[in-house]
């Protein structure tokens, strides 16, 4: 998706870039919270011989939000783990483009199903108000991490839909040209 960001309409391009900056900022701010917390857990437990009260409960929402926003970023940057070898086996531009389009479309369909289930999960929480399920000690509603799950999946579906649109728009020739240029630049950056 990032590779073809310039092929988006200008309003959508600005929106996507803004959303990426916000998600990246949230993940960058949230990420150090985990090791810092575990440092204090060890410090409290082994130096002060006390427990850090209910740290698991406030780390849970942070972890869920960070994981699912990070997954959305992975969808945007197309950095999911895959074992696709077809690009190495053929140089036919139409096959390479069609394969990517088909995979992205299937990913979109699956993500839309998961998004629907995420909405059902969230709707179940909303319907339980004011008797929300909460954590034991800090009484953090389970709604908080579940919103993070839903929003992350929503962004994954959005980026997959935009990727399908862009892949269809650019076609096989432009796709393979940009992909080759990107791979060459990536290899040069790694010193290969």
Dump pLDDT digits (tens) for 13-69. Answer: 999 999 999 999 999 999 999 999 999 999 999 999 999 899 999 999 999 999 999
CA distance 161 to 5: 13
Tell me the residue length of the chain: 192
> Mean pLDDT in the chain?
90
CA distance 66 to 31: 7
Contacts of 70 (CB under 8 A, 6+ apart): 27, 152
CA distances from 14 to 7, 17, 19, 70, 74 (A): 12, 5, 9, 20, 19
Mean pLDDT of 115-134: 94
Token look-up 């994954």 returns 156
pLDDT reported for residue 185: 83
| pTM of the full structure | 0.89
Checking if the pLDDT of 87 tops 70, the result is no
CA distance 68 to 58: 16
């Amino acid at each position: 998706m990032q590779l073809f960001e310039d092929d988006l309409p200008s309003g959508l391009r600005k929106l996507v870039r803004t959303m990426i900056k916000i998600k990246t900022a949230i993940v960058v701010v949230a990420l150090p919270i985990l090791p810092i917390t575990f440092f204090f857990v060890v410090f409290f437990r082994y130096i002060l011989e006390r427990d850090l009260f209910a740290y698991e409960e406030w780390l849970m929402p942070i972890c869920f939000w960070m994981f699912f926003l990070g997954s959305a970023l992975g969808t945007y940057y197309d950095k999911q783990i895959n074992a696709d070898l077809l690009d190495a086996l053929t140089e036919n531009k139409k096959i390479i483009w069609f394969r990517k389009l088909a995979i992205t479309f299937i990913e979109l369909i699956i993500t839309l199903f998961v998004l629907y289930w995420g909405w059902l999960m969230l709707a179940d929480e909303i319907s339980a108000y004011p008797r929300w399920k909460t954590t034991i000690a800090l009484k953090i509603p389970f709604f908080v991490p579940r919103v993070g799950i839903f929003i992350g999946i929503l962004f994954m579906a959005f980026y997959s839909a935009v990727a399908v649109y862009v892949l269809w728009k650019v076609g096989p020739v432009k796709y393979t040209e940009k992909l080759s240029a990107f791979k060459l630049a990536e290899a040069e950056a790694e010193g290969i």
